[in-house]
A = this chain, B = another copy of it.
Amino acid sequence: MQNGRLVLELPAWAKTFLAAQRGTFASTTERMRLAIELSRRNVTERTGGPFGAAVFETETGRLVAAGVNMVEPAHCSLAHAEMVALALAQQRVGHFDLGADGVARELVTSTEPCAMCLGAIPWSGVRRVLCGARDEDARAIGFDEGTKPADWSGALTSRGIELVCDVLRDEAGAVLRQYAQAGGRIYNGPSVQ
Kindly identify which residue among B4, B115, B116, B124 contacts A14, using a CB–CB cutoff of 8 Å: B4
Kindly identify which residue among B63, B115, B122, B155 contacts A1, using a CB–CB cutoff of 8 Å: B63
Number of copies: 2
Query: Does the CB pair B91–A77 fall under 8 Å?
Result: no
Chain A's interface size range is 35 or more
Q: How far is the CA of A92 from the CA of B147 in the complex (A)?
A: 27
Contacts of A66 in B (CB 8 A): 1-2
Contacts of A8 in B (CB 8 A): 5-6
Contact code string A90-129 (vs B, CB < 8 Å = 1, else 0): 1111111101100000000000001111111011110000
Query: Does the CB pair A96–B114 fall under 8 Å?
Result: no
Query: Does the CB pair A76–B71 fall under 8 Å?
Result: no
Chain B residue at smallest Cβ distance from A115:
B119
Contact code string A118-148 (vs B, CB < 8 Å = 1, else 0): 1110111100000000000000000010111
Task: Judge if A43 is at the interface, Cβ distance under 8 Å.
Answer: no
Contacts of A118 in B (CB 8 A): 115, 119
Task: Judge if A176 is at the interface, Cβ distance under 8 Å.
Answer: no
Which residues from 135 to 193 on chain A have a C-beta closer than 8 Å to any C-beta of chain B?
144, 146-150, 152, 155, 159-160, 187-188, 192-193
Contacts of A192 in B (CB 8 A): 97, 99-100, 125
